[in-house]
Structure 1
């Protein structure tokens, strides 16, 4: 990595993926700052000393310009899964992403990595999924050299995704399925996604502009639950539940401060979440992604 590019800001740097990206870039020798709406909060334990937390406000051009100033790379890891009265999916994933891309394009020598997700579609009935796709279009238009990474559903060693499902398996004798449970997923280790960011920054490998990042294993949702139940020695009844009922449940839970189910999650479970044929992926970045099975998580 050139010296001029060693200063990096990770937007959403205290989030699930962002804090892993910060840690990986620190180990790469970058000077890393973390953009967050709540600077001053306790730093994630996995960070090494020296990470500055920088205030973000996606709606404020001057705040965002100050945050991005002086960095060679901008990594947009901001994720937003539940709309509020103050912010919509369009505010964050479209308008916010466009503002970031324009600021990067206007800054000589600055580069952008934009984190989206597999399944983003302009034709989706889901406001969340559409906003992610519209954000990609806006980023490409405003900043043609931006690199877009689309991870599949991400898991971690400390419980995210598989651990959350394991709790359901342990406590519910009857487990409701999304539809018939046949949605195909390609879970990816969050640290592998962070490594993909590092490879984009650290070398000439990123000749392609869009990468779809899925792990080495593909399972249906039903198969994942069956494997978790077998792993824990429990017999569980898997009950198909129509998506219309899931949408109703998500709508009823939406007013809660931290809803256990969101319309965005329901929408994502309606379609396969696997890397597309012919898309650039981990192999193009020289990465062999970790298997959740080999890691003992599934």
Structure 2
């Protein structure tokens, strides 16, 4: 079916923005998710009938083929931040990517975009980064024109980074700086990533390329925590945690990963030992015509929820000062 794109994992944090920009560009979109009942709001991102929702599982080839029937393009956003049960990095990042690529080729799709991660490296000590790279290679072997997107940490309303630590700061007097907090990041706005993915689907020049998606600034982990605390109006100790101690915390997180989201895993500690910034060897947002959005412009628009007084915090402070005068 002409102008139809299937988005696997399209109901997630990044996927929602990808679907929104694809809809704006005029695509018909099929959002493929494991639990369609939880993704009903996706239809609101397009015109009536423009966005459809179907069930699919990366381990189930027939469901992949049904989701891709008639599609001219596909985007695979499915990924894990930590392993739990049957949901392992090898199964999702590698075999899942391979299965989507095989199904896309069999269905006759002409464009496939694989969302990986900045820092993907087959030689990385981190299983997350290693399997992301292996997934890229597995998919490209089957689908030579594969387009790869490698974002740094992605920020925006509902993110799993700034909001996670802002929540922790609400009840903890201190925040950990893993390895001293010197690891560098290049945070990228979720809206910019969504726009970039829509461009990758449509731009013929993107075929076979890898894009590194980073924002306009590079920050240490410590600097990011300081920015978050400044925006939320919280004073918390920032405590350096040496790598050996962080590894012990990560191992404890591994033990509870199958029950609750862990604060830190051993593999995430390994990931934090390497900077998460664009290498400069691949094109980025600018090459897709996307102007990167700064952290400073976006953080205040959603971290206000963690301030005492919320969106009225500044007004309350002014009124308090006026009363003292």
* C-alpha deviation, 1:258, in angstroms: 3.2
Structure number with higher helix proportion: 2
Please list the CA deviations of residues 101-130 of structure 1 after superposition, one character each: whole Å capped at 9, or x if unmatched. 122233435210000000111122222222
* C-alpha deviation, 1:183, in angstroms: 0.5
Contact 2:146 2:207 in 1 (8 A): no
Contact 1:215 1:289 in 2 (8 A): yes
Match of 1:221 in 2: 221
In structure 2, what is the Cα distance between the partners aligned to 1:255 and 1:89?
A: 14
In structure 2, runs of 5+ residues without a counterpart are: 304-325
Match of 2:312 in 1: none
Q: CA RMSD in A?
A: 2.1
In structure 2, what is the Cα distance between the partners aligned to 1:163 and 1:81?
A: 16
Match of 1:95 in 2: 95
In structure 2, what is the Cα distance between the partners aligned to 1:194 and 1:34?
A: 14
In structure 1, runs of 5+ residues without a counterpart are: none
Match of 1:153 in 2: 153
Distance 1:108 1:167, change over 3 A: closer
Contact 1:93 1:131 in 2 (8 A): yes
Match of 1:30 in 2: 27
Report the TM-score, using the length of structure 1 for normalisation. Answer: 0.91
Contact 1:178 1:246 in 2 (8 A): no
Stretch of structure 1 that moved more, 113-122 or 239-248: 239-248
Match of 1:73 in 2: 73
* C-alpha deviation, 1:264, in angstroms: 4.4
Asked if 1:284 is matched to 2:287, the reply is: yes
Match of 1:47 in 2: 45
Distance 1:42 1:232, change over 3 A: closer
Report the TM-score, using the length of structure 2 for normalisation. Answer: 0.84
- Number of aligned positions between the proteins: 295
Asked if 1:119 is matched to 2:122, the reply is: no
Distance 1:168 1:212, change over 3 A: same
Secondary structure in 2 matching 1:293: helix
* C-alpha deviation, 1:213, in angstroms: 0.1
In structure 2, what is the Cα distance between the partners aligned to 1:201 and 1:87?
A: 27
Stretch of structure 1 that moved more, 158-167 or 194-203: 158-167
Stretch of structure 1 that moved more, 288-297 or 156-165: 156-165
* C-alpha deviation, 1:270, in angstroms: 2.2
Larger radius of gyration: 2
In structure 2, what is the Cα distance between the partners aligned to 1:83 and 1:105?
A: 28
Match of 1:132 in 2: 132
